[in-house]
Amino acid sequence: MRSLSDTLERLARLRAVKPAAPTGSILRKLDQFGSNPGALTSWHHVPKHLPTAPALVVVLHGCTQTAAGYDAGSGWSALAEDYGFVVLFPEQVRQNNANLCFNWFNAADTRRDEGEAMSIRQMIATMVAEHRIDERRVYITGLSAGGAMANAMLACYPDVFAGGAIIAGLPYSAASTVPEAFDRMRGQGLPKTNALQASLRAASRHEGAWPTVSVWHGTGDNTVVPENAAAVVAQWRGVHALPEQPTSSETFAKYSRSAWRDERGTDAIELYRIPGMAHGTPIDSSTGYGHGAPFMLDVGVSSTVEIARTWGLAASFERRERPKAEVIDERPAIHPSGGAGNKIQSVIENALRSAGLMK
């Protein structure tokens, strides 16, 4: 556990460096959000036309990135402006990590109510209170170290999040030192499935429904190798009580998607693989959301848009691509009201939620 003197020292360093608003960014700084034991900075965007009880998306940047840079590349604020939800961008500072990585491998920063994890939780609580966020619609996503930290937040606070999306990230509690972190990124020494699942269960005392998890990874990623994506899926299969094989698999022109459906008919876990893509967040600049930049890879599929659709935050009446091959589906979805009409009802309800006309 980080000592009190260490925490005070980190807070003093943070107060000594007051970050200015990023040039050209629409993000605004969140100044007061609690004790901030992890000494992080916080930015956010609230759309001009905010519906009653909006959703909140927490976005965690990768190493060497900033909140504003990741927002510009991914397009999250632009999407939020169009569809009426709030976005929160925790930001790492160099006093904590010289490469601006969230410290996903440090136990003192990835335990419930400690360190950086606690700082992010305090930011969320402040945003929920100030903007009357629907607490049933809080989501989190992140890239690389931010993806690993997003996974840590989902593990430590499953009661807070409805869902999460981990992009080129790593399993929770897979490393505890810097050398171990580099090994895990290369796929070396990844814990076995039983150990990964045990770590996730031990991160909280949660007994309710677990967040849905979307995992994104490029098959050409040599920085955080794709074995980590498989390990994240395996880690979350435990709490969702899902088998090793996916319920369905689809192959599109630019990506493939596998899904693990739970007994309620919900895709509790989904895995997106982007053939040949290196380390970064997949975007599609033709959508008008985001643009290419270091670690923001314009590969013709927007993870931002697809993730928002999955969470019911953006229009999902149609997909831009149809599967190249027939969908493999081992068991049908279970709909509470039954019948084909339920799919139509779901589409309508998602559209109403996106417009802020329905909770």
Task: Find tokens 């969140």 and name the residue.
Answer: 30
Task: Find tokens 């329905």 and name the residue.
Answer: 358
Residue (of 325, 304, 305) closest to 317 by Cα position? 305
Distance separating alpha carbons of residues 46 and 85, to the nearest angstrom = 7
Tell me the pairing of strands 86-91 and 163-167. Answer: unpaired
Task: Find tokens 């139509």 and name the residue.
Answer: 344
Task: Find tokens 């993870």 and name the residue.
Answer: 303
Distance separating alpha carbons of residues 348 and 145, to the nearest angstrom = 36
Task: Fill in the amino acid letter for 166.
Answer: I
Give the CA distances from residue 247 to residues 29, 254, 270, 273, 328, in Å, rounded to whole numbers and listed in that order.
Answer: 42, 21, 10, 16, 8
Q: Which two tokens stand for residue 168?
A: 């080129």
* Cβ pair 185, 279 in contact under 8 A: no
Annotated catalytic residues are: 144
Q: Which two tokens stand for residue 266?
A: 């919900």
* Cβ pair 92, 302 in contact under 8 A: no
* Cβ pair 11, 39 in contact under 8 A: yes
Distance separating alpha carbons of residues 36 and 52, to the nearest angstrom = 28
**Residue 113, phi-psi category: left (phi > 0), alpha (psi -120 to 50), beta (remainder):** left
Distance separating alpha carbons of residues 255 and 223, to the nearest angstrom = 19
SS3 21: coil
